[in-house]
Amino acid sequence: MEYQDYDAIGLAELVRGGETTPTELLDTAIERIETLNPVINAVNRKMYDEARASIERGLPDGPFTGVPFLLKDLRAAYEGVPTTAGSAFFADKVAPHDSELVSRYRNAGLVIAGKTNTPEFGGAPTTEPSLYGPTRNPWNLEHSSGGSSGGSAAAVAAGIVPAAHGSDGGGSLRIPAACCGVFSLKPTRGRNPAGPDFGEAWNGLSAEHVISRTVRDNAALLDATTGPSPGDPYSVPPSEYSFLASARRPPGPLSVALTTSTAAGSAHRDCVDAVKKTADLLEEMGHRVTEDSPEWDRPTVGAAFRLLIAANVMAGIDEYAEQKGRRPHDHELENVIRVLGGESYDSTSIDMVRATWAMHRAGRAVAPFFQKYDVWLTPTVATPPPPLGLIDMTTEDIDAYLVTVFGFIPFTAIANIAGIPAMSVPIHWNADGLPIGVHFVAGYARDSLLFSLAGQLEAARPWADRRPPIC
């Protein structure tokens, strides 16, 4: 078997058994970066020296000792290395310390070999920053890898690493996972720590976890990182079983709600077809599927969502501007960030409080839906992976940009707004060979239920051995 045939758990087992070494695995990952990255542009910062130094110092004895890993170039702070957030203004923003999550990855034995491409400040569902250029979809190089964790998803799909870090403020783990034919789960709000620099990110909208090829890797990596750190403002009730154990346990018969349309209309036929085929499979497994959808005040919540993200992004820019002693020049910010972020200056502190209230009211509005149903099934995105260039953060037409964005991603943000877990499962490809993800949402703190269902779907329709053409 080849390196890319193993998941992270499998590679760690090889290291523990003495069949390979962390250095050999790192060398293989580096070889794949050097070979494939010129084609897909997934890795925007190579950290080979840092990776070799971590091996030379001696790796912790963790569940993933010696396994190569990548960090998204947003929020994941690695001491002494810039975290650019895909922005020219942040190109020299060197982290003074590790973030808590990165410390936990390192304590788990992972060998961090680089950072992955992201749109500026995670502001788009595609990964095409002006600073580093577009990340190409390994399944079709003319199409988007999704965003904002598109570099991580493309790297995993291409077999550069078996799993990579990402973040998700409106679907940014699940969207690229769907576009690239890999798996990801956005955990419940507070499941992973945001410290030490934040208590929560984007007023609780954003969560961090990983994109992986297999369900068991995703579950075991959450086992390795979950739990509050000192000073966290809140925490999530622990699961009865480990997430890895949950992924190995069939969930039992579930009540599933199904939705394929939004207020703007139905999703693309390929996405609808993927959901309906998944519904048929679920019924074959003994689950009960009913067409239904939760309700919340979409216009009010949409406006609140826009304000909270814009204000958080601009607050980060302002904070770094104070450190640098100057404001960003126009060419250092893409137009969508400059315009939408600038709008937040016209809002008041009262507007921010009311936006937070709207978010929390939406969470309470959808909560009873998950007492009626165990999970909610939708397309992950409303179309197949779009062509590169369709979603352009340099555009002057902000209104058209937003229409295009939310026409592509109408299903994912409610899980961020409500703080509940959601996942994208890669069990369908269309006639053009592009991946079509299906999306599942569960109630608060029911991450384990999603892992159980994902493991069952993975056993019924395995995907890990599917490889894009570049492999």
pLDDT, tens digit, 9 for 90 and up, residues 355-404: 999 999 999 999 999 999 999 999 999 999 999 999 999 999 999 999 99
Nearest to 427 by CA among 250, 275, 255, 243: 275
Q: Quick one: what percent of the chain has pLDDT higher than 90?
A: 97
User: What's the mean pLDDT in 260-283?
Assistant: 94
**172 part of the active site:** yes
Tell me how far CA of residue 162 lies from CA of 4, 86, 102, 214, 390, in angstroms: 7, 23, 17, 8, 29
Looking at residue 352, what is its pLDDT? Answer: 96
pLDDT given for residue 301 in this prediction: 97
Average pLDDT over residues 417-425: 98
State how far the Cα of 80 lies from the Cα of 433, in Å rounded to an integer: 41
Choose, from 54, 72, 212, 424, the residue flagged as catalytic: 72
Confidence of residue 271 (pLDDT cuts 50, 70, 90): very high
- Comparison of pLDDT for 171 and 234, the residue scoring more: 171
Give 190-240 pLDDT, tens digit per residue: 999 999 999 999 999 999 999 999 999 999 999 999 999 999 999 899 998
Q: Which residue in the list 103, 144, 172, 424 is annotated as catalytic?
A: 172
Taking only the tens place, the pLDDT of each residue in 318-338 is: 999 999 999 999 999 999 999
**Which long-range contacts link 328-334 to residues 24+ away (Cβ below 8 Å)?**
328/89, 331/88, 332/87, 332/88, 332/89, 333/87, 333/88, 333/89, 333/120, 334/87, 334/120, 334/123, 334/129, 334/130, 334/393, 334/394
Q: pLDDT value at position 262?
A: 84
Confidence at 265, pLDDT banded by 50, 70, 90: confident
Q: What is the mean pLDDT of residues 434-457?
A: 98
Torsional sign, CA 361, 398, 402, 181: negative
Set 103, 148, 167, 212: catalytic member: 148
Check pLDDT > 80 for residue 1: no
Q: What is the mean pLDDT of the chain?
A: 97
As beta bridge partners, residue 140 has 137
pLDDT at 264 over 80: no
pTM of the model: 0.98
Closest CA to 110 of 256, 203, 9, 188: 9
- With 90 as the cut, is the pLDDT of residue 21 above it? yes
**Res. 28: pLDDT tops 90:** yes
CA distance 109 to 440: 30
Q: What's the pLDDT tens digit per position in 56-88? A: 999 999 999 999 999 999 999 999 999 999 999
148 belongs to the catalytic site: yes
| Cis amide bond preceding 196, omega within 30 | yes
- pLDDT reported for residue 263: 74
The arithmetic mean of pLDDT across residues 294-303, rounded, is: 96
On whether the CB atoms of residues 79 and 53 are closer than 8 A, the answer is: no
Over residues 179-189, mean pLDDT: 98
> What pLDDT, on a 0 to 100 scale, did the predictor assign at position 135?
98
